[in-house]
Amino acid sequence: MPQVKVRRQGITADEAAAAIRSSLPGEQLDISQRGDRELELKKSYFVRANVSISSEPGGTVFAVHGGGPVIPVLFLSTRIVNGRGIARRVADALGAYEGFRGDD
């Protein structure tokens, strides 16, 4: 599961969703909020990821893991593939997002 820590603190799920949308414009992701500290991303029925947001001293941590449809045969394999695909791209986008650097 990719994790990325940024220096800015207090990042909301709405801000994270906006950062993902602006950093990955060609992905056409459906991003929905699950609570105030989690996001669910869907590109298609099989391509999914979940983002958990937590605060730590010195910044915010995004834990991104691949998801998949709840079909017993496919769940594990799609979760592994999405963990290396969409989850990695989302984690990289959050880590590189200019607004989360906290350099102000």
CATH of the domain at 44: 3.30.310.80
DSSP characters for 20-67? HHHH-GGG--EEEE-SSSEEEEESSSS-EEEEEEEEETTEEEEEEEEE
- pLDDT category of residue 74 using cuts at 50, 70 and 90: confident
Residue 70 has pLDDT above 90, yes or no: no
Kindly report, residue by residue over 8-53, the tens digit of the pLDDT: 999 999 999 999 999 999 888 999 999 889 999 999 888 899 999 9
Rounded Cα distance, 11 and 29, in Å: 20
Other C-beta atoms closer than 10 Å to the C-beta of 81 total: 16
Number of structural domains found in the chain: 1
User: Could you tell me the residue range of the domain that residue 54 belongs to?
Assistant: 3-100
Rounded Cα distance, 36 and 13, in Å: 6
Q: Contact at 8 Å (CB) between 49 and 31?
A: no
Residue 103 has pLDDT above 60, yes or no: no
